[in-house]
Amino acid sequence: MGILNHVCIGMNDRERSVRFYDAVMEPLGVRNLGDFVQGVAYGRKVPELLVLSPLDGNAATSSNGATFGFKAPDRASVDAFHAAGLLAGGSDAGKPGPRQAMPNAYGAYLFDPDGNKICAYCFKPET
């Protein structure tokens, strides 16, 4: 069991953000669960990732130093996450490949259209 209930990421353009997150979450087995407050909820069964317009009405800004990491079932899903994100308007923040964080770590990093840094990781050995 994870330690987090959910994560919120700010957005400024709903259509652009939904297109991006629909694309990058699909390879990870996460789906768009529909509207949630001022945005959209993503998860496998319950909302775990909330992509929202800030409730205070100000523009969404990225947090310097913050990264939101998502579990990938395998290395191919990490690759697909990265490729889908680039095609959906994100930018590269670290190509898919082995990482020195832990044994068997394989990850990829993206910036979403609003500058939020996200990544996907798999910790299974290469097969």
Q: pLDDT-derived band of residue 2, with 50, 70 and 90 as boundaries?
A: confident
In percent, how much of the chain has pLDDT > 90? Answer: 88
Per DSSP, 63 falls in state P
Sequence letter at residue 94: G
8, 12, 25, 70, 121 from 73: Cα distances, Å: 22, 30, 12, 10, 8
In this prediction the pTM is 0.92
Please report the domains of the chain, with CATH numbers, ordered by start residue: 7-54+66-122 (3.10.180.10)
Residues 78, 96: Cα–Cα separation, whole Å: 7
The 3-state DSSP class for residue 31 equals strand
pLDDT in tens, 47-81: 999 999 998 999 999 888 899 999 999 999 999 99
